[in-house]
Structure 1
């Protein structure tokens, strides 16, 4: 049990007691309060007397205060089981977005900010950055345009884009489609996956309902022997949210129009200007160079997989068609890892029960960064809850909550709250992501406000005979998202604007991507592992029942299995990265048209599918005569509507930075506590409070290089 002083956080956690009515009312209340602050600044300050203290300070404190409620009001739509609550949350987000657009286009405030810039006051670096960003944001929000029709049109576009974004993500969260399959059609899919599927009645008697949620979708694509089953799942999954098709198209056209109104040649030029890359040309050169380095490797990998497909089909007495389709890839990739690398994903998963893996990961962060995680359970929840009711501080009974502290050597001070919401349920956000619930900052009285952050994932639910078990790629995903959570927790900035993961988009993934390397380090994999049969006598009995007389396995994963996992790090890596390139190049293609007429005419779905075929070199249904419009993957691609527009390349460019950091600082000794703490203080704590290139260069002791990235992928 945690020491008494670590069970009494100095700041209560947020509460999740909203109703559909209160969410919308609260949104209106905080908007009114914020508008009042803005009006008071305008009423009390004239351009000639404008200063950072009289203009920016009150606005920044208001932004800090608003964020304590606004993030949570918008969060319910991703996690609530109640449709009305999710709808109200979407409505609240829409109201708040409209207000943010209105605020960003207030000419009266812009004039005061502009006058403050002219004063050239001596400010601390973070305040200077806030002033510069605020000034530039006003210009990027249309205040450089003359008042009148152009500026009005720009505002109209911003409002509509906000509505599209909310509706698009809502459609994805609410998606509840699936397919009825017979057990024969699902031959090969693991038994524990089938056991969790809904059973059919009436006309679907004897069939199972397969959803498009990850715990159903991925195992089916990896294990279903019947290629027709995989094909159907793949095509239907790409068509699961077709109501998003017109929304995506409209968003692309409106973004282009808005960028041109501001004098940019296209949306990509507008978006990339304030990122690390600075220009679309830099991005296109990087993506093009990577594509040329990967293409031959991709062809070679496909040839090897094609040979495996031939052997597999002929061994089953089926005809080989000499084609490698999109729906073949997860299946033969998995088969290759099993046959050529003795990699049994089901066996590996037995060593990574979700709860012990989470505990192991938190232990790594404790050792590396000097943190202590204390789970808040039972009566302690009631003691820390402002209302005295423990259920008020979580939004669902499955959610775990931890108070996070500095270790004793660092003074045992409070850091913040971490929440884990790990299992799928209807209406919940369908991927894995980290959500900031409350940012950290220094309040108007000079006191530190501590952050709260949530991991929202969709891992397989436990059953009476088996806990939730993670495949190795899920271990990597969990560690990656926890990395975002740690970034969010340990950041120490003056203003919430720069807190945690509020960095430029082509850097934000780098800290988490760097931490993924720990999941490819033998000592850390060993430390994370614990065979589920050792968790309880009941689990051991259930394991023995299905193991058919095998002796009880070692508690930790055997070294030879670890060695096999490590050997596969770059297997079919060219194809994996070509898939990422497809997303990145598609993103740039739709956001960098030659003219506005060109984007209006561009067949978006066909372009998405054609580019995928050209870049990944895998065939899709178009090879079977279904045309290039057979699926609408862009309609399921939340990133490009949710902030990664003209920014998806950031996943790949961040990988350059993350690999450089790992190779330079951690590769020889991943658990070096001195370097871990240096990384925490010089990279993670900074958030977006200084130029990200400066952060990176200071940590590395030089400008970043691509050498380690290409070396790690075997492309140097």
Structure 2
């Protein structure tokens, strides 16, 4: 039961009781309401009488209300087990996107907003930002083009790009591929993974079905001793969504055409203009400098890993190609190096991080650092919040956990919002790890705060009768990262939903979460998060003893020696990891920064993706075995570049500059400094995107950000 002080949230959680019919019907009603508001503005307000209150405010208030329903309408396609509901969610999102494009190109509304801007009213800072951003948005949506064929073509492109984005992500979510393997071909893969695979019948009798979902894919690439197995898994995973190949190409071509219609030299110039970087040259210089600094380290790391591969193959009397280091070798020999040189067994470390106790430990860190309280809502409390419905109405699947989040007593004990955790894979579900805003926070028309709801959607291995879900350390980091986005979403306090939470520029949005990853490399925090699974129940204790052959269970918390070994590996093969990120960022810029439209029309995107990966990461693919550069279509699995990170993937690397600077400057000496944690919460996280991100950073740091800590952390300082 929840403590009395945190018993009854002042706002009910959303319900997840939609049907395919209701989703589409509700969407059309939302669109009709918004269109009426826009039509009313044009009818009742002239450019002479236009001001912020009678033009911008009604639209902003409607945007707030729209977001309360529309985010959930689109969310079903990522999480529902009902294909009809997922399809309806996809259809509804297309309707919403089409309406958004229609709204963004209304010249009659733009004329009113332009009139407001020219009047230079005295507005509060967030309202002024809303006015300026909205005005710029209309121009970026083609309203500086003369009415006629060019503007019509621009609108047509926008609509098609929206449809491509929805179809591309749907293909990824619905992907059902995999490979049949014999048990022998999966030699080395942990038993708890192999034992969970579907067993074949008929023609495939005796074989096991390995999917491309993370809990199957990554352990196989890390542990399968058979190089041919790893190669098949790697190559076929790159080709799991080949229906997306033509969609990706079409999107690249259309983006370039649209940017040129607006007078930009390419799509990258258009996209980066309103980011922190401002120009493609800034991005290209940053990525180029990073590549120059990382390349020697990558060569050194490959040399050591290749030596390890040669020793391994010799020890096993295998005559495989040992003169090259392949893409499908990397996770395997990276893991082997950690075990050999650092006595680091990730399987043993995972035993100390059962999913549920790790989550409890993480939430406790956030409570202490940011002045929050998390209260899980279960049983009767769920029913009480279902407002006359069933307790199951306030979640979308039986596995989902829901928490009410509060300020602690020191912060005033007020309500903050709702946090949902959806942690295990299932058919049709979003396949990666992400944070989804379900309902933003804002101030309503009566001056009352509306509270947010946010969801973490992940794909960790499911518990079994003999083991709970156990997290590898990199999964602990992933969970902490996504929870970081969730906290950003929860504690944000903006007037308008437009700026709520993670609605910042793309090259800053990852920084708050990346900064929090540092807590996963801090000895005291790792110990506090750990709890060996054999201590969870007598059944798990017995299963552990049986599996390990030990006569007693280990200590509850992870030993200091294991923590030291783990922390010593933080930067092992770090250059190769960052070169992989660099490949994604440079490929993104390459396809979005052509010299001419003819250049992008002639570009072989698949060959470019694979060739760039080889040139930047220096790892070999099937092309080194006599094939060509068209062996895999990794770009077709790259949802980021279709889902909002186009000409923006560099943000994962550039925001690391900011996150490392913040951690080194403020938290490195004392990561659990609650005073600084609360200052960070109120200065950075609360603001969302309501203020220039560089101004937020400078206020928190007390100076302009510096790359020094970032390069020092990577060990590549000048």
Which TM-score applies when normalising by structure 1?
1.00
How many Å separate the matches in 2 of 1:614 and 1:7?
57
Q: Report SS of the residue matched to 2:186.
A: coil
Q: Report SS of the residue matched to 1:49.
A: coil
Residue of structure 1 equivalent to 2:173 = 173
Residue of structure 2 equivalent to 1:504 = 505
How many Å separate the matches in 1 of 2:689 and 2:387?
31
How many Å separate the matches in 2 of 1:309 and 1:410?
55
- Contact 2:313/2:322, CA 8 A, preserved across alignment: no
Deviation at 1:5, TM superposition (A): 3.1
- Contact 2:190/2:219, CA 8 A, preserved across alignment: yes
Residue of structure 2 equivalent to 1:221 = 221
Residue of structure 2 equivalent to 1:64 = 64
Q: Report SS of the residue matched to 2:48.
A: helix
Residue of structure 2 equivalent to 1:272 = 272
How many Å separate the matches in 2 of 1:645 and 1:81?
29
Residue of structure 2 equivalent to 1:711 = 712
How many Å separate the matches in 2 of 1:402 and 1:626?
52
Q: Report SS of the residue matched to 1:48.
A: coil
Residue of structure 2 equivalent to 1:183 = 183
Q: Report SS of the residue matched to 2:557.
A: coil
* Equivalent residue runs for 1:202-221 within 5 Å: 202-221=202-221
Deviation at 1:550, TM superposition (A): 4.3
Q: Report SS of the residue matched to 2:404.
A: strand
Q: Report SS of the residue matched to 1:81.
A: coil
Deviation readout 1:201-251 (Å, 9 max, x if unpaired)? 111111100000000000000000000000000010000000000000000
How many Å separate the matches in 2 of 1:370 and 1:200?
52
Deviation at 1:321, TM superposition (A): 2.6
Q: Report SS of the residue matched to 1:47.
A: coil
How many Å separate the matches in 2 of 1:585 and 1:400?
38
* Equivalent residue runs for 1:135-174 within 5 Å: 135-174=135-174
* Equivalent residue runs for 1:656-667 within 5 Å: 656-667=657-668
How many Å separate the matches in 2 of 1:590 and 1:235?
22
* Equivalent residue runs for 1:286-325 within 5 Å: 286-319=286-319, 320-325=321-326
Residue of structure 2 equivalent to 1:618 = 619
How many Å separate the matches in 2 of 1:325 and 1:120?
60
Q: Report SS of the residue matched to 1:17.
A: coil
Residue of structure 2 equivalent to 1:462 = 463
How many Å separate the matches in 2 of 1:382 and 1:600?
57
How many Å separate the matches in 2 of 1:549 and 1:475?
26
Deviation at 1:4, TM superposition (A): 1.8
- Contact 2:438/2:455, CA 8 A, preserved across alignment: yes
How many Å separate the matches in 1 of 2:389 and 2:244?
43
Deviation at 1:114, TM superposition (A): 0.1
Deviation readout 1:60-106 (Å, 9 max, x if unpaired)? 00000000000000000000001100000000000000000000000
Q: How many residues align?
A: 716
Q: Report SS of the residue matched to 2:184.
A: coil
How many Å separate the matches in 1 of 2:551 and 2:695?
56
How many Å separate the matches in 1 of 2:592 and 2:553?
56
Deviation readout 1:100-125 (Å, 9 max, x if unpaired)? 00000000000000000001000000
CA RMSD of the aligned region, Å?
Answer: 0.6
How many Å separate the matches in 2 of 1:649 and 1:353?
33
Deviation at 1:385, TM superposition (A): 1.2
Deviation at 1:2, TM superposition (A): 2.6
Deviation readout 1:321-352 (Å, 9 max, x if unpaired)? 31100000000000000000100000000000
How many Å separate the matches in 2 of 1:323 and 1:206?
33
How many Å separate the matches in 1 of 2:583 and 2:246?
21
How many Å separate the matches in 2 of 1:601 and 1:382?
59
Residue of structure 1 equivalent to 2:6 = 6
Residue of structure 2 equivalent to 1:111 = 111
Q: Report SS of the residue matched to 1:242.
A: coil
How many Å separate the matches in 1 of 2:387 and 2:440?
19
Deviation readout 1:141-196 (Å, 9 max, x if unpaired)? 00011100000000000000000000000000000000000001000000000011
Deviation readout 1:236-291 (Å, 9 max, x if unpaired)? 00000000000000000000000000000000000000000000000000000000
How many Å separate the matches in 1 of 2:67 and 2:609?
36
Q: Report SS of the residue matched to 1:208.
A: strand
Q: Report SS of the residue matched to 2:398.
A: coil
1:647 aligns with 2:648: yes
How many Å separate the matches in 2 of 1:247 and 1:214?
24
Instruction: Show structure 2 runs of 5+ residues with no match.
Output: none
Deviation at 1:547, TM superposition (A): 1.2
Residue of structure 1 equivalent to 2:54 = 54
How many Å separate the matches in 2 of 1:572 and 1:133?
42
1:631 aligns with 2:618: no
Residue of structure 2 equivalent to 1:330 = 331
